C-alpha cells in the first residue's frame, strides 16, 4: 500500500494576531494509506472539522503541509480547485447546499465543474444517485420537494459524482432516523468497497465508527490523541472517557464482562460479534444447545 | 472571510461609554453627526476631531478595531477627497487638462476626509459599546411619541432587532454555503463580471432558502410564546437616566456651543 494523504506538522490558528486567537489544530502529523476507511472522533470543538477542511484546501494551514500523493496541495495555489475534485468533501447537513431546479442538475454541479460532459457526466450522476439509493424518478424533481433524508442523499451524491480519490464525510448521518442512518452508512461502506477509494468519516456515533472504520483518529484539543486500529483504540476505554468520548455500548459491556472474569475476547465492536462470542461461550458451558 | 469586518460589531465591556444609557448615547450621537456637517472652519473641525478622539479614549475598545473599521471605507474616503480636491472654485494654483487645483479644493478635500473619518469613528464607537438590543430599545423609546400619529414604533423596533440579530447568523451561513459550494468546485474567484455574478447563484439560492426557513422558525417560536405586538408589554431591563447620562448630554451641548462660537467668530474656509 502507498500513502495517499500525508499530514506534516499541520496547524491552524483562527484569527491570528487578534485577541480572539485560537489554535484549532496543533502540530498534527499522520499518514493515511490508499483505500483505507478512517474514522475521526473527538469531542465538540476538538478540531475535527477544521482538520478535514484543510485536507481539501478549503482552509489553508497556518503551519505545516498536506501532501496528496506526495505533493503539497498548496504548492500551486492557483490549482487548488483541482485538489477539491480529488478530495471530495461532504459537510455537516449538506442538504443546505442544494440550489438547482432539478436533483439531477444539482448532483451534476460538481462533476460539471470538474469538466465532465455528455455521457461521462450522465454516467457519473446516475452512478452516484444509485450509490446513495436515490430512485430514478426523483432525479427530475426539484431538490426542495424531497424529504429530509432524500435531500441528504442528493447532496452526498453531488460529491460522489465528482469521482474523488478521497471522500471526506462530516457527520453524514446526523439528524437521520435510525433506519436512515443504518442504510446510509452501509451505502457508504459499499461505495468504499466498490470504488476502492479512501474514505474519512467524522462522527460522534461510536457505534457507527466501530462498524465501518479500519483505523481511527482520535482528536483532543486540536492534537492527535491517538491514531490506531479500531479495536486498539476502543480497547482503551478509560482513556477515551477521560477526553469526553465513549466506546460503543456493546464494547463496554464485553469489557465489563471480561473484568468480572468471563472468558470473552477483547475488542468486541458490534452486537453481531458479541452475539457470536456469547452464544458459543454459552454452548460450551452447556447452557444453550 | 466575511466575518473579519469589524464595523458594526459589539465589544462587551464596562467602560464609561458602555455604561451610558443607550438613549443618551443615541441622542448625543445624532447631535454629533449633525454637528459634523456644521463645521466650516478648522477650529470647529479641530473641536470635532478632538471630541472623536476623546470618545474613542473613553470607549475602552482598542484603537486597533477603530483602524479596522476605517480600513473598510478607505476607498470611499480616498475617492471623495480626490474628487473634492479638483472641485473647488477660485483661483487655480495648478492646472493640467481639466484638473484644476485650488486652495478652496484643498480645504474641501481636508474637510470631507476628516468629516467622513469622524463619522465612521463615532458610529463605530456607538456600535462597539452598545449592544444591538440596547440600541433598538433606545430607538423604540425615543420614537415613542410617534405612536400618537399611528406610527408602528414597536413593530419597527422589533423588525430592526430581529434583522440585527440575524446578521451574524446569516454571515456564518454564507460562509458555510460558500465552503460547501467551493468543495464542489464552484469557482468564485476568476472570470469576467457576468461569470462572477452567475457564480453567486449557487450561494444566494441556498442562502435565501435558509433565511426564509429561519424567518418561519422564529415566527412560530414567537407565536408559541404568545407574542402579540407591543401594547401592554413590560420590559425586563428598564432604562434609567443617571448623572453620568446628564453629564454626557451637557458635554455634547457644550460641544455644540463651541462649534457655533467657532462658526460665528471665525471666517469659514469652504
Place of cell 505533493: A71
pLDDT for res A10: 93
Taking residues A79-83, report their average pLDDT. Answer: 89
Residues of B in Cβ contact (< 8 Å) with A81:
185, 187
Average pLDDT over chain A reads 90
Considering the domain boundaries, does residue B138 fall inside one? no
Q: Which residues contact A234 (CB under 8 A, 6 or more apart)?
A: A206, A210, A216, A240, A247, A248, A251, A267, A269
CA distance B55 to chain A (A): 22
The model's pLDDT over B99-154, given as tens digits with 9 standing for 90+, comes to 778 888 888 899 999 999 999 999 999 989 998 888 888 888 888 888 888 888 88
Q: With 70 as the cut, is the pLDDT of residue B32 above it?
A: yes
Q: With 90 as the cut, is the pLDDT of residue B186 above it?
A: no
> Cβ of A91 and B187 within 8 Å?
no
> Cβ of B210 and A98 within 8 Å?
no
Considering the domain boundaries, does residue B219 fall inside one? no
Q: In terms of CATH architecture, what is A1-75+165-245? A: 3-Layer(aba) Sandwich (3.40)
A178-192, A231-245, B69-83, B94-108, range with the lowest pLDDT: B94-108
Average pLDDT over chain B reads 86
Could you tell me what percent of chain A has a pLDDT over 70? 98
Q: With 90 as the cut, is the pLDDT of residue B231 above it?
A: no
Query: Per the structure, how many domains does chain B have?
Result: 1
A214-218, A261-265, B152-156, B266-270, range with the lowest pLDDT: B266-270
Mutation test of the interface with chain A: which of B184, B187, B216, choosing the one with the most A Cβ atoms within 10 A?
Answer: B184
Could you tell me what percent of chain B has a pLDDT over 90? 36
pLDDT for res B118: 94
Containing H/E element for A31?
Answer: strand A22-33
Q: Which residues contact B148 (CB under 8 A, 6 or more apart)?
A: none
Residues of B in Cβ contact (< 8 Å) with A159:
183-184
Considering the domain boundaries, does residue B58 fall inside one? yes
A115-119, A256-260, B54-58, B227-231, range with the lowest pLDDT: B227-231
Q: Where are the domains of chain A?
A: 1-75+165-245, 94-163, 248-289
- Residue A86, chain B, CB below 8 Å: the answer is no
CA distance A162 to chain B (A): 8
Pairing of strands A87-90, A223-229: unpaired
Residues of A in Cβ contact (< 8 Å) with B180:
91, 94, 96-97
Residue B266 binned pLDDT confidence (cut-offs 50, 70, 90):
confident
CA distance B256 to chain A (A): 37
> Cβ of B183 and A114 within 8 Å?
no
CA distance B5 to chain A (A): 12
Domain residue limits at B36: 2-131+239-265
pLDDT for res B2: 47
The model's pLDDT over A30-78, given as tens digits with 9 standing for 90+, comes to 999 999 999 999 998 899 999 999 999 999 999 999 999 989 999 988 8
Question: What is the spatial distance between Cα A271 and Cα B108, in angstroms, rounded to a whole number?
Answer: 80
Could you tell me what percent of chain B has a pLDDT over 70? 97
Residues of B in Cβ contact (< 8 Å) with A113:
184-187
Considering the domain boundaries, does residue B213 fall inside one? no
CA distance A24 to chain B (A): 17
Residues of B in Cβ contact (< 8 Å) with A158:
184
Comparing C-alpha atoms, which of A28, A6, A159 is closest to residue A84? A159
- Residue B41, chain A, CB below 8 Å: the answer is no
CA distance B2 to chain A (A): 13
Comparing C-alpha atoms, which of B15, B7, B13, B114 is closest to residue B55? B15
The model's pLDDT over B208-217, given as tens digits with 9 standing for 90+, comes to 999 999 999 9
pLDDT for res A171: 92
Nearest CA in chain A to B64: A18
pLDDT for res A111: 93
Q: Which residues contact B13 (CB under 8 A, 6 or more apart)?
A: B60, B61, B129
Considering the domain boundaries, does residue B139 fall inside one? no
Q: With 50 as the cut, is the pLDDT of residue A232 above it?
A: yes
A85-89, B48-52, B91-95, B177-181, range with the lowest pLDDT: B91-95
> Cβ of B185 and A113 within 8 Å?
yes
pLDDT for res B4: 52
Residues of A in Cβ contact (< 8 Å) with B212:
none
pLDDT for res B1: 42
Q: With 80 as the cut, is the pLDDT of residue B230 above it?
A: no
Q: With 60 as the cut, is the pLDDT of residue B197 above it?
A: yes
- Residue B1, chain A, CB below 8 Å: the answer is no
pLDDT for res A84: 92
Amino acid at each position: 500500500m502507498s500513502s495517499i494523504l500525508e499530514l506534516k506538522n499541520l496547524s491552524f490558528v483562527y484569527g491570528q494576531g487578534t485577541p480572539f486567537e485560537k489554535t484549532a489544530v496543533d502540530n498534527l502529523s499522520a499518514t493515511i494509506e490508499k483505500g483505507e476507511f478512517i474514522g475521526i472522533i473527538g469531542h465538540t470543538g476538538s478540531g475535527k472539522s477544521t482538520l478535514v477542511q484543510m485536507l481539501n484546501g478549503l482552509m489553508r494551514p497556518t503551519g505545516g503541509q498536506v501532501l496528496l500523493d506526495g505533493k503539497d496541495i498548496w504548492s500551486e495555489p492557483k490549482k487548488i480547485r483541482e485538489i477539491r475534485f480529488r478530495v471530495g468533501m461532504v459537510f455537516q447537513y449538506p442538504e443546505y447546499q442544494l440550489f438547482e431546479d432539478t436533483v439531477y442538475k444539482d448532483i451534476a454541479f460538481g462533476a460539471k465543474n470538474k469538466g465532465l460532459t455528455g455521457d461521462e457526466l450522465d454516467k457519473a450522476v446516475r452512478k452516484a444517485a444509485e450509490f446513495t439509493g436515490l430512485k430514478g424518478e426523483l432525479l427530475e424533481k426539484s431538490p426542495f420537494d424531497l424529504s429530509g433524508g432524500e435531500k441528504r442523499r442528493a447532496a452526498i451524491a453531488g460529491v460522489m459524482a465528482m469521482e474523488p480519490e478521497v471522500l471526506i464525510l462530516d457527520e453524514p448521518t446526523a439528524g437521520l432516523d435510525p433506519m436512515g442512518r443504518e442504510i446510509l452508512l452501509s451505502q457508504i461502506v459499499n461505495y468504499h468497497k466498490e470504488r476502492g477509494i479512501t474514505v474519512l468519516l467524522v462522527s460522534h456515533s461510536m457505534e457507527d465508527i466501530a462498524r465501518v472504520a479500519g483505523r481511527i483518529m482520535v482528536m483532543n484539543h486540536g492534537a492527535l490523541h491517538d491514531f490506531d486500529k479500531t479495536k486498539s483504540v476502543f480497547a482503551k476505554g478509560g482513556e477515551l472517557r477521560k477526553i469526553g468520548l465513549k466506546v460503543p455500548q456493546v464494547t463496554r459491556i464485553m469489557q465489563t464482562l471480561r473484568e468480572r472474569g468471563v472468558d470473552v475476547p477483547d475488542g468486541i465492536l458490534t452486537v453481531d460479534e458479541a452475539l457470536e462470542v456469547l452464544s458459543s461461550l454459552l454452548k460450551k458451558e452447556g447452557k444453550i444447545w | 472571510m466575511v466575518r473579519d469586518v469589524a464595523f458594526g460589531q459589539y465589544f462587551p465591556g464596562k467602560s464609561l461609554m458602555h455604561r451610558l444609557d443607550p438613549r443618551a448615547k443615541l441622542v448625543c450621537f445624532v447631535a454629533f453627526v449633525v454637528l459634523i456637517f456644521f463645521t466650516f472652519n478648522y477650529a470647529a473641525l479641530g473641536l470635532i476631531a478632538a471630541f472623536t478622539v476623546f470618545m474613542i479614549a473613553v470607549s475602552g475598545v482598542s484603537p486597533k478595531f477603530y483602524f479596522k473599521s476605517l480600513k473598510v471605507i478607505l476607498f470611499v474616503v480616498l475617492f471623495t477627497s480626490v474628487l473634492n480636491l479638483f472641485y473647488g472654485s477660485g483661483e487655480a494654483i495648478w492646472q493640467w487638462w481639466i484638473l484644476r487645483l485650488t486652495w478652496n479644493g484643498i480645504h474641501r478635500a481636508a474637510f470631507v476626509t476628516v468629516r467622513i473619518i469622524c463619522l465612521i469613528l463615532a458610529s463605530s464607537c456607538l456600535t462597539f459599546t452598545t449592544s444591538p438590543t440596547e440600541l433598538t430599545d433606545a430607538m423604540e423609546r425615543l420614537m415613542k411619541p410617534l405612536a400618537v400619529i399611528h406610527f408602528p414604533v414597536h413593530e419597527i423596533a422589533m423588525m430592526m432587532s430581529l434583522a440585527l440579530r440575524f446578521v451574524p447568523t446569516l454571515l456564518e451561513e454564507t460562509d458555510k454555503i460558500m465552503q460547501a459550494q467551493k468543495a464542489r468546485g464552484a469557482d468564485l474567484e476568476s472570470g469576467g463580471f457576468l461569470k462572477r455574478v452567475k457564480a453567486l447563484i449557487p450561494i444566494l439560492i441556498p442562502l435565501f432558502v435558509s433565511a426564509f426557513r429561519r424567518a418561519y422558525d422564529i415566527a412560530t417560536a414567537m407565536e408559541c410564546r404568545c407574542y402579540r405586538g407591543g401594547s401592554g408589554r413590560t420590559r425586563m431591563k428598564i432604562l434609567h437616566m443617571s448623572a453620568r447620562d446628564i453629564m454626557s448630554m451637557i458635554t455634547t451641548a457644550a460641544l455644540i456651543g463651541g462649534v457655533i462660537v467657532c462658526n460665528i467668530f471665525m471666517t469659514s474656509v469652504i
